[in-house]
Every structure is written in C-alpha cells, then in structure tokens.
Amino acid sequence: MDGCCEVGKKQNRLEQLEKIRRKAEYVFALAGNPNVGKSTIFNRITGMGVLTANYPGMTVEFNLALTEFEGRKVGIVDLPGTYALGAISEDQLVARRGVLQGRPDLVIVILDANNLARNLYLLLQFMDLGYPVIAALNLVDQAEKAGTHTDQQLLSEILGIPVVATVGIRGDGLDELMHQSLEMALKRDEYTVLPFSYAMDLESRIRKLAQYSKKELAETPYGLSHRALAILLLEQDKELTSLVREMPAGEGLLELSREIGAEIENEHGDRASLVLARERHGIAGSIAAAVQERKTYNKPSLGERLWELTTSFKTGIPILILALATIFVAIFVGGSYLATQFDHFWSSLVADPLARGMTSLFGANAFSQSLNWAVDGLGAVLGIALPFLLVFYIILAFLEDTGYLNSTAFLTDRFMHRLGLHGRAVIPLISAVGCNVPAIMGTRVLSTKRERIIASTLIVLTPCSARIAVIMGGLALFAGWAPALLLFGIIFVVLTAAGLLLNKLLPGESTGLVMEMFPFRQPSPRIILKKTWQRLKDFLYIAAPLIVVGSFVLGFLYETGWIFKLTVVLKPITEWWLGIPAAAGLALIFGFLRKEMALAFLLVLAAHLVPGVMENSPLLDFMTKGQIFTFTLVCAIYLPCVAAFGVLWRELGWKEALSIGASTVLLALVLGGLSHLIQLATH
C-alpha cells in the first residue's frame, strides 16, 4: 500500500478537506473511540507518521492525507477519537462537523473487539445519520488471547454492512478494508443505509416528526435525512436546533419536536435524549451478545496482571514512584553520557576548526566573533539539550506504547478530583510532559470552561520536555541530582497548590472518569523510534535554528557592547532579588521563544563572558550551584514558550491567557527570590 500524503497545517482543516476532495476520487473518514487504534490504522494506510498513543485526549483536530490504492486517489480523514457524536465536548463536535460539513463518501468505523458493545454505539449513530458505513473490527488478536471470539460474518449480517477483521499495529486486514471501502464507494448510489428500528412507541413518533419535516422543509441542514433530523431534534441537539430555527417553517418543526419529546418523557420518565441513548445501548449490547463468545480462563494474561498491579492503589503508587525514579535515573545517566560524547565530538572536531576558519575568512571583528557565538549555540544544542531530549522521548514513547500512561491516569483520578478536574484531564496533563502545546489543545475534550482553565493552568506549570532538558542538562549536570530532585519536588507542590486554590476560587464541580480498561501491550521498537524521531525533529528543525540565530544576536550585542547596557535594566531583578548575574536574565528572556534556549544561551554567555573558563564546566565558572538552582527554578515556572502561550490565547481568550502568564511570572519571581534569601540565610 503506497503512502504518499499531503499535509496542511496552516489553513482551516475544512478548507484543506475541500482541497483533498478536489484531488481525490473518494474521501473516507475514520471514526472510533480514542483507544481502538484508529490513528495507527490511519498511519498504516497513509504512511503519514502522525503521533499516536494508547490513551485518549491528545488532540481534537482531525488529520488529513491523500493516498493511493488500486490506482485510485483516496482522501483519508482521521476524525478525533470520540465515543459519541453529540455536541457536548469539543472532540465530539469536531468529529461530527468533519462528517456533516466534510461530506465523506464513506465512514470507516473502527471497533474494538474487546469492547464491542461500547463501540457499536457510535456506529449506530452513524447509521442513524444515514451515512454509508463499513466496520473495521480491530484488536481481534488481543480479544482472542483474552478468550473473546467474534463471529465476524454474523456481525456483518446483523448490521447489514461489511465488517473486516484488522490488527492495525501489524497492518493485518487493512488491504481488505480499503478494497471493501472502494467497492462500497463505487456502489454508493446503489447502497442504502438501513438504520435499526427503536421500540415501537419511539419509532412511530420519530416517523411522525420525520414526515412533518419532509412536508414542511425544502431541504435539511447538512443534507441529512428527515429521519436523522427528527432523531437529533428529539435529542435536543443545540446545533441542529439553532439551524432549524432559522429555516422557514422551522419553528413549527421545533414545536412539534418539543411536544413529542414531552410525550416520551411522560411515558418513560426521562428526557427523549436519554431514552434514545438507552435504546441505542440496548441494541448495541444485544448485537454484541449475539456475535461474541467468551471463554473464561483461570489464569489472566501478563498484560491483565500488569494492569491490575498498576491501577490498584496499594501496588500502583509504589510502582509509580519506582517508575518515576527509574525515569529520572535513566535521563540523568543516559543524558549525561550522551552529552559528554556529543560535547567531546563537537569541541574537538567541529567547534575549534570552524572558529579558526571563520576568523581567517572574515577577520577578527564583531561579525566573525558573533558567528563564533552561533557556533557555540549549536554546540549547546548538540551537547546539552539534544542528549537529554533524546533519552526522554524514547522513554515517553515506550510508556505510551505499553499503555502505562493509561493506567496512571486511572490510578490518579481520585487525586485529580481534588484539583477540580475529572479523570480525562489527567491525559492532557501527562502529555504536557512531552509538550505543552498539544496538551493545551487536548483540554478541548473537557466539557466546561472552568475545567479547561484549571487544566491549562496546571499544564503551563508542568515541566515539558524542553524544561526537563534545562533541569537535567543544567541543574543536574552541573549541580548534581539532589538539587534536580528538589526542584521537581517544588514543582509538584506548586502544581498541587495551584489546583487546590483554583478548585476553591472557581465555581463548579468536576465529573467522573470514563475510560476503557485494556491490558498492557508489547511495544514496537520501530514505532518507538518513529515517535522519538517525529518529536525530536521538531526540536532540530524549529528550536535549533532559533538557538543558533539567537546566539548570533547575543554575540553581536556583546561584541558591540550593547549587552552591558541591557543588563543594567535587569540588575534590580536579577542581581538584587534573584541573586543571579544580570546577563543570565537575558537568557531567561530569550527562553520565552523556546525553553531550551534559556540553557543554551546561558552556556554561550558563560563561555564568552568569563575569561579563562574551564572547558569541562563553563557554567560553574560563571555561576554558583545555588545561582544555577535559582535560574532553573525561575525558568521552569515562568511563562510557557511563545507557542504554548499563543495556543493558550487561542483556546481560552486573551484575558485568561494574560492572567495565567502574569501569574506564572509573578510566582517564578517570588520563588526565585525566596530561593536566593534561603541561600543567603544558610551560608
């Protein structure tokens, strides 16, 4: 299967979808809940290399690709992972709009063979909407190992649609899935969706409302069938209700839907939306019971035993502490070793010959000396930031692929409620350790703005991979592992205190955690390396050039004497309050672009501002261990990087973004000043 993709990141997703539609003969949408391996199947079909993980909530945008199969160009839309198609949360809304506004020729619903009844609910919703649907029964290998056999042929007969068994991570069944999808798309005009009928009293009322709609409306929103529109109005869908209200004869249809909804509520004791949802769940459960046969094994699998151990409070907490300690040691030891090797290579083979070459080429002047600063900046990237990021990203990909982050989210749900968040917020917080930007975007899956504000604030305070690189490559490397552990402890206390405070200040309550449980999985080394490279290349392509250019600017300011004029303004804050060199304040300011830049610039400053520095410890000749601690503390807490701040602005609004940003700056300065005062008092 050829994987050639066209990916757009700057324009509106729906505009991109229209472009792909014009280029493709057919457009298929992939739908499914967050844990069915949907993005893995998307990657396999298209070769696109989108980051995936065995837990939900990473992002609520949809990914697009153009691929070729059997000589035909096919557009693929990877919808956000969601359990339903309502408009309750951002992930559901984006998924539904991707279908209603994107108008795919076919929807491929990915089902989890381990949780078939739960997954069929979404498929039944698509059938209610009247869309051509094909089902991919994924994770059949795991289900069989767990003793669950699914009669694929019977499931297809009951649903009235093709069902293809797949193992997404290995690519099994995907050629057949695409072949069946193309066959169905070719016969779309002949294909009629036959949705399941509800209980007789409900079905008669749905038909009554659909007949009125067909009689009074010239057209329906998004071209929906009149039956689909009737169901959505009975479910009191806000978006569709608003659209119908603006149409001629729309008020009459809404009035009838309210009357029929009241009749259903009087008979069943619940709102029509809940009654319909119960019916849909009942149908899904009956289908699953009819097609699945479960064998009971006395001995649970290794993955199931690991899940039980990591989610039980008694065993899970010690395992979590041990895992965190192991991660810390691995990053410290592995990153330090790689940093030493990279630094030796750079210093002996690249930096010195390059510096001499530029001096001979341009002469000994401000420009050539500034170029040497840029060279030192690139050396800081390769010798400090890159080694620690590389080790961290490998570990993060391993934790994602095994599913351990999922069990961590389950384990910490009770604690998250104390911070005013429900369990789904755990996932963006965990993903924030990788990068704050997608984590902030991932808060769209939260239902209320209160939860999004709390979660976004905590995400901003969570040390991302860039800040971890600063802590490990600066504080741990030059001051030792104990100060680094202390700093991580301080950050944890700050996070907890911020959550408790926001939970008291902001009105409202958190809801419960909805998460499917599945056993641990054996990670794929190929996928781990692929994920590591996907993340690492963003740093190399974006951060490294910024650091090199920024180092050149710093060098030019120094060589021309302007740096000393700028540091005069910073002295009251940096030297008097924080107790660090004024020039280090410049590194903190540049760190707003990318947090790794703060450390890189600090190392470059140390190499040039201190005469006769030792090659193996330039930072310790420029600052004391206590000053390095204060610098790193401020860097880890004040403002996220400019990209994260921009996303924060877009997601929450300028008032909330500025409030969160200003609060972190104030908090960082207060803690940095206290660190300085404590150091003065103890010496």
Q: Which segments are annotated as binding site?
A: 32-39, 43, 46-47, 57-61, 78-81, 138-141
Question: End-to-end CA distance of the chain, in Å?
Answer: 67
* SS3 assignment for 214-283: HHHCCCCHHHCCHHHHHHHHHCCCHHHHHHHHCCCCHHHHHHHHHHHHHHHHHHHCCCHHHHHHHHHHHH
Binding-site residue numbers for Mg(2+) are 43, 46-47
Tokens of 196: 């399941």
Q: Which of 518, 496, 596, 530 is nearest to 396 (CA)?
A: 530
User: Is residue 82 a contact partner of residue 71, using CB atoms and an 8 Å limit?
Assistant: no
Q: Which of 427, 399, 407, 434 is nearest to 523 (CA)?
A: 399
Helical ranges in 13-68 per DSSP H: 13-23, 38-46
3-state SS class at 660: helix
What is d(CA 111, CA 32) in angstroms, rounded to the nearest whole number? 7
- The Cα-based distances of 203 to 141, 227, 374, 545 in angstroms read 38, 10, 72, 62
Angle between helices 449-461 and 654-682 (to 10 degrees): 40
Encoded amino acid at 366, one letter: A
What single DSSP character describes residue 543?
Answer: I
What is d(CA 385, CA 378) in angstroms, rounded to the nearest whole number? 10
Q: Which of 69, 80, 78 is nearest to 180 (CA)?
A: 69
Encoded amino acid at 163, one letter: V
Beta bridge partners of residue 108, listed in sequence order: 30, 134
User: Is residue 548 a contact partner of residue 374, using CB atoms and an 8 Å limit?
Assistant: yes
Binding-site residue numbers for GTP are 32-39, 57-61, 78-81, 138-141
What is d(CA 610, CA 47) in angstroms, rounded to the nearest whole number? 50
Report the relative pairing of strands 133-138 and 106-112 from DSSP bridges: parallel
Beta bridge partners of residue 110, listed in sequence order: 136
Backbone φ and ψ of 471, nearest 5°: -65, -45
Within 121-248, strands assigned E span: 133-138, 148-150, 163-165
Angle in degrees, CA 141, 144, 147, rounded to 5: 155
What is d(CA 348, CA 345) in angstroms, rounded to the nearest whole number? 6
Q: Which of 187, 123, 130 is nearest to 158 (CA)?
A: 123
Angle in degrees, CA 592, 596, 598, rounded to 5: 60
Residue 37, phi-psi category: left (phi > 0), alpha (psi -120 to 50), beta (remainder): left
User: Is residue 491 a contact partner of residue 328, using CB atoms and an 8 Å limit?
Assistant: no
User: Is residue 611 a contact partner of residue 645, using CB atoms and an 8 Å limit?
Assistant: no
User: Is residue 58 a contact partner of residue 109, using CB atoms and an 8 Å limit?
Assistant: no
User: What residues have CB less than 8 Å from 619, skipping those under 6 apart?
Assistant: 474, 478, 602, 603, 606, 628
Can you say how many angstroms the Cα of residue 178 is from the centroid of all Cα atoms in its chain?
Answer: 27
Report the relative pairing of strands 63-69 and 292-294 from DSSP bridges: unpaired
